[in-house]
Amino acid sequence: MCLSHAVLDDDYRQYQQALLGAGLLVSSGVPGVYGLSGLFEGIVEAFERYVTRMGQHLTPEVIRFPPLLSRETYLRTDHIETFPDLMGSVHSFVGNEGDHLRLVQKKENGEAWTENLEPTDVMLVPAACYPLYPAAANTTLPEEGRVVDLRAFVFRHEPSPDPARMQTFRQREYVTLGTAEQALAHRDYWLKRGEELLGALGLDVKPVIANDPFFGRGGRVMAATQKEQALKYELVAPIASTEKLTAISSSNCHLDHFGREFNIKTPDGQFAHTACIGFGLERITLALLKKHGFDPATWPSETRSLLEI
């Protein structure tokens, strides 16, 4: 069914206003940037504990990176070629007192004061797994590969009235680095496991072959290739709209892209393949609130039991 942008915008705004009215989201005045209530954050934390239990049999390494990535590392990825419209670059003032006075004067005059800022050594993290690969650079993996449990705030510059399309949000990921067979097995395992654990919470999820929103004409070719090779699957569910479903989790194979770029190798000397499952923590919380209502005390007993709330 093809829905008009106007109809979707109405759905998005209605759910957004309901969340703001209930105090679950707190407006910052910037589209897609919200404060979160204690109740909302409590659901996020409960879901994280649930995901931890569901993955603990894999005995993953646990790493928590900050929401910043070195500019040098960022430029070693192809993010600027594929997603320039989503990037976040951190700039700051580095001038002298005279430069500062001119900066303040421009600001007071309503002029373009940001032209006096210089790029720093950091970028905002575009995906939770990005900081992992430079940390594993120039290493040889063990025979069994590596499985890493990650969580990070990520940034994507796509302001929207859709409350599920936040500009900054958290991803919880399980990433594997290993052989092609290990990476594919990890992706396929978590695609099934993710559908089961989200379905057990009462969410109406289904897997779909997907592609990333690559930028430009060349990006359309990359997206078609990604879809043809079935490298990316998303688990989608109703959030603001029951007609236009939203991805709340994705499971991806990167082939040897990061292994080659960061010189990560398997014991036989091949470049490592990588794969990940990512859970959008805010989106999953929004999906649970949409499905079961704004008061977790009234949620189905099975959902409450699994989340231990």
- Residue range 45-60, pLDDT digits in tens: 999 999 999 999 999 9
Q: Is a pLDDT exceeding 50 seen at residue 221?
A: no
Where helices occur in the chain by DSSP H, the ranges are: 5-21, 38-55, 71-76, 79-82, 97-108, 132-135, 180-199, 216-228, 257-261, 281-292, 301-307
- The mean per-residue pLDDT over the stretch 261-274 comes to 97
**Which pair of tokens denotes residue 112?**
């373009």
Q: What pLDDT, on a 0 to 100 scale, did the predictor assign at position 1? A: 44
Q: Distance (Å, rounded) from C-alpha 180 to C-alpha 185?
A: 9
Contact 12, 240 (CB under 8 A): yes
**What mean pLDDT, rounded, does the chain reach?**
91
DSSP 32: T
Query: pLDDT tier at 162 (50, 70, 90 boundaries)?
Result: very high
Q: How many CB atoms lie within 10 A of CB 169?
A: 18
Q: What pLDDT, on a 0 to 100 scale, did the predictor assign at position 238? A: 94
First to last CA, the chain: 37
**Where does residue 181 rank: exposed (0-12), middle (13-18), buried (19+ CB within 10 A)?**
exposed
- Overall size of the chain counted in residues: 309
Strand, coil or helix: 232: strand
Q: What pLDDT, on a 0 to 100 scale, did the predictor assign at position 232? A: 84
Q: Is a pLDDT exceeding 90 seen at residue 151?
A: yes
- The mean per-residue pLDDT over the stretch 244-270 comes to 95
Amino acid at 107: K
Contact 115, 76 (CB under 8 A): no
- Per-residue pLDDT tens digits for 98-133: 999 999 999 999 999 998 899 999 999 999 999 999
**Which pair of tokens denotes residue 253?**
């194979």
Residues of CATH 3.30.930.10 domain(s) within the chain?
5-88+126-307
Q: What pLDDT, on a 0 to 100 scale, did the predictor assign at position 9? A: 81
Angle of CA points 215, 216, 220, to nearest 5°: 85
Task: Say what the pTM is.
Answer: 0.90
- The mean per-residue pLDDT over the stretch 21-38 comes to 97
Q: Distance (Å, rounded) from C-alpha 267 to C-alpha 1?
A: 49
Q: Distance (Å, rounded) from C-alpha 176 to C-alpha 193?
A: 15
Q: What pLDDT, on a 0 to 100 scale, did the predictor assign at position 78? A: 86
Sign of CA dihedral 203, 4, 168, 18: negative
- The mean per-residue pLDDT over the stretch 63-74 comes to 95
- The mean per-residue pLDDT over the stretch 181-201 comes to 95
Q: Is a pLDDT exceeding 80 seen at residue 3?
A: no
Q: What pLDDT, on a 0 to 100 scale, did the predictor assign at position 211? A: 62
What's the CATH code, domain 5-88+126-307?
Answer: 3.30.930.10
